Amino acid sequence: MSSLVIIDSECANLSSIYKAARFVNLDPVISDNPKIISAAEAVIFPGVGSFAHAASLISRKKLTSSLLETITAGKPFLGICLGMQLLFSRSEETILSSGIETAEGLKAISGEVKRFPEGLPIPHVGWNKVDPAFGHPLFKGLDSGVNGGSYFYFTHSYYVQPEKNENILGRTEYGFPFTSAVIKKNLFGVQFHPEKSGPAGLRLLSNFGKIIADIKY
């Protein structure tokens, strides 16, 4: 039984996350089998594309309960990009694009997913700084404070807005400071792509690996 499962959300960056995780000596398997996910010691939940599409995929594959089970059990869980947005209560995205009244997420963290306001180039594409809100093992060895944090690679049009400040793990400036990393116990979410963020991203993934190892023993 493998300890780390990357959820097969059929997204384009699946292979990149797998390769980056392997590169930092993690030993992940890619799976969409609820049994394998429930038995995992830790989960990476990637996603790109549209919120509504991803949300319906998760429910069609019957992954909702095993994902929530993993989170509730306190197993290390890392949502990436849309995978982080799906942890939230709801998103504005579908209201705009498909006419569906509400787009519901997993509701593991209370808050909304909102579209960047008009006037900024959208999508927000490229390297931007992530300033950790407080010292945490996930950002160990990465910049914070005075120099505004380390650079990570972003590409997205929507951002998360947690209801509670205690869920904010990192912020990024794009016209205004938005939440680019979230936390709830061992549940983490990052809006950027650690698998495409060079040395800083690999460090974050390796830090996540360390968190898994520390919980195991």
Contact 169, 182 (CB under 8 A): yes
**Among 39, 68, 202, 213, which residue sits at the site for other proteins (rule: CB under 8 A)?**
202
Least distance from C-beta 14 to other proteins, angstroms?
8
**# residues contacting other proteins (CB under 8 A):** 34
81 part of the active site: yes
Contact 125, 155 (CB under 8 A): yes
92 part of the active site: no
d(CA 136, CA 207) in angstroms, rounded, equals 10
Give the binding range for other proteins (CB under 8 A) out of 38-46, 86-94, 126-134, 182-190. 126-134
Cis peptide before 123 (omega within 30 of 0): yes
Least distance from C-beta 154 to other proteins, angstroms?
8
Task: Report angle CA 1, 186, 129 to the nearest 5 degrees.
Answer: 115
CB of 41 or CB of 92, closer to other proteins: 92
Annotated catalytic residue, options 11, 53, 81, 93 = 81
Least distance from C-beta 38 to other proteins, angstroms?
27
- Our finding on whether 19 is near other proteins (CB under 8 A) is yes
104 part of the active site: no
Print the binding letters for residues 50-79 with other proteins: x by CB under 8 A, - otherwise.
x-----------------------------
Catalytic residues: 81, 193, 195
* Residues within the interface to other proteins (CB under 8 A): 12-13, 15-16, 19-20, 23, 48-50, 121-129, 151, 153, 155-157, 173-174, 195-202
